Structures are given as structure tokens and as C-alpha cells.
Amino acid sequence: MGTKIRPLVSADLPALFNLYCELQDTLPEVDLRVAQTQFSKHLSAARLYTPEDWYDKTADVALVAEDAGEIVAYANGRLLQKGDFLLADNTGLIQWALGRRQQKPAITAVIEAVLASLQKHNPVAVHAFNSMTTPIFFGNLGGGLPAAWPWIAQSLLDLGFAAQTPAHLMWCDLTNGDAATLKVPDGLELLNGQTFVNDYCAGLESDLNSGFYLLDEGEFVGWCGNFFAGAFIEGAGHDYVFTHWFTVQEAYQGRGLGRWLLRQSHAHARRNGAKGAMLLTDVHNFRAVSLYLTEGYRPLTLSHSFILE
């Protein structure tokens, strides 16, 4: 009878969760999988663009590919009505896709069906595996498509998507090191600051959302924004910290301020019991990669996102 594409129903979730666990086994040694209850609850809940009223609910689509009664692939799509400077209003999203290597034709077919549904709404562009919009629980891997799943990437390329610049997913062991608060650089002011998206606190409890701003007489110098593990994995609390935004203004670069912000974030994470730190960085950002390596990070995998314009 061949592969059948049909809407996802709740009875499919246990099989889909098993497929997720199977693919997670191909990822780096840091075990970041979630329980089935959270998987089911957050399957279409975005990592940063969280509020449901930002989306056109009429465009929501979640499909599975079924072969001989078995769920072999999945993809879902959403239409972001309320964007910002990173994602425009009316952006289409292939939020997530799953499938085994040997089922690539089914993966392509289910993604193609989701894409066709989204394109009826005339999106300005369609992003796939955007690091800010993949499911909440996938944020622990930076949100992008891992290099360990190249067959899914090939399906997207076959459908006309272009790969954007890949990013290193990096890990730093925090079990050893200083937890003391650092002295603020001379002449600068340190502020604690949470991450906001469209004036919304990223769907996180303040206890899990931490960051540090450096100011020079009120002028922005640099920022290191962090989420703790519990933002992605229910019950994980402060087990590790994920740095999702890290920048120093060009006029202040070369003074060690980025290194200071990173160390301040690590010290804060250690005081809260974190055993490790993770981040994503553009593979072409040689200055940042060099900094992270010298501060104890090591690459785990590459993370990819895609766009169809």
C-alpha cells in the first residue's frame, strides 16, 4: 500500500516518542532527552517564540508518515504572525521533523506536505529547524538540526531549502572552577537581566532565566544571556546552563570583556549547582570559537538551520 501521509493523532504520540528516543541515541554523549509526558506537551511549543497568540492557529499542521501501520516520519508547521527583528511577521516554520535514515523518502514526503499546507498562507519565507522555534525540549541542543541526522537535512535541500551557516554546539564542564562573583571591570556597571522576546519573558520562570549586562555610563557594552536546564527539561532545574546570546559592542572588543562576562556567567551557574555549560556559535566566528576553546568548551556536534525564500 506504500506510505500514507495523515494528520498526527494523540494515539501516535507513544510511537513518535520512541522514534525521538532512537534518534537521540545518535547525538553527543550528554544525555538531554525528556520524558514522554513533556515530549507530548511541548511538541509544538516553540523554544523562544512561545505565546500561542503570536501564531495563526488556522495554519497549524502536524503530519505523520505511516508505513504498514508503523509511524516512520513526522513533521509539523506553524505560521508566526507576530515576529520581530529576527523573524518577520507572517514567517512560516517547519518547526521539527523526525524520521529514520532508511525512511528518507517518507521524511521528504511528510515535510513536503507540511510545506504545501504552509504555502497556502503566503508566508514571507519558511524557516526549518530555526534555533528559536524548535520545540522547547529541543532547545537543550540549541534548537538546530544536528549533523548526526544528515538524511533529514537532505530532505530539506531536496525540497529547495538552503542551508544557513552551521553552528558549533559546545559543552564546558563546570564541576571544577571558581564560583565567586567577579570584580566588575573598572568604570563599568553590571546589571542582572533576563531575556525578553517581544516584551515577553521567553516563557521562563525568572529562576531559570539569567543574564548579565555591562554598561558604560548607561551605554550598552555587552551582554551574556543564559537559560538553565529546567527551561528545556522539566525537573532538570539548574543541572546545566545554556548561553543563548553573547555579544560585546565592537568599540569595546579587545579588552577581555567577553571573557569576563562568560566567566561571570559560569561562576553564577556554579553557585546555582550547574555541572556544565552549553552554547551555539557560528562556525565562521573565529574570535568566539577561540574564546570558548580557551575557556574550556569543546565541540559536540554541528547544528544546522534552513530557509526557503
pLDDT in tens, 234-267: 888 999 999 988 999 999 999 999 999 999 999 9
| Pair (184, 215) in one structural domain | yes
Number of domains in the chain: 2
pLDDT at residue 195 in the model: 60
Provide the domain limits for residue 201.
176-274
pLDDT at residue 83 in the model: 84
Look at residues 167, 191, 206 and tell me which one is the last residue of a structural domain: 167
Percentage of residues in the chain with pLDDT exceeding 70? Answer: 93
| Pair (258, 133) in one structural domain | no
| Pair (62, 184) in one structural domain | no
| Pair (78, 205) in one structural domain | no
Tell me, yes or no, whether 251 lies in a domain: yes
| Pair (157, 239) in one structural domain | no
Give the Cα separation of 209 and 231 in Å (integer).
8
Q: Please say whether the dihedral angle defined by the alpha carbons of residues 5, 7, 13 and 14, taken in this order, is positive or negative.
A: negative
Report pLDDT digits (tens) over 121-132: 999 999 999 988
Tell me, yes or no, whether 283 lies in a domain: no
Percentage of residues in the chain with pLDDT exceeding 90? Answer: 65
pLDDT at residue 194 in the model: 63
State the pairing for strand pair 240-248/61-67. Answer: unpaired
pTM over 0.85: yes
Strand partners, 222: 214, 248
Work out the average pLDDT over 73-88: 92
Rg for the chain, CA atoms, rounded: 20
Q: Is the pLDDT of residue 198 over 70?
A: no
| CATH number of the domain residue 235 falls in | 3.40.630.30
pLDDT at residue 139 in the model: 65
| Pair (145, 32) in one structural domain | yes
Look at residues 167, 194, 211 and tell me which one is the last residue of a structural domain: 167
| Pair (131, 203) in one structural domain | no
pLDDT band at 29 (very low <50, low <70, confident <90, very high): low
Q: Is the pLDDT of residue 193 over 90?
A: no
pLDDT at residue 49 in the model: 77
Report pLDDT digits (tens) over 218-236: 999 999 989 898 888 888 8
Do residues 19 and 74 touch, judged by C-beta distance below 8 A? yes
Work out the average pLDDT over 141-145: 75
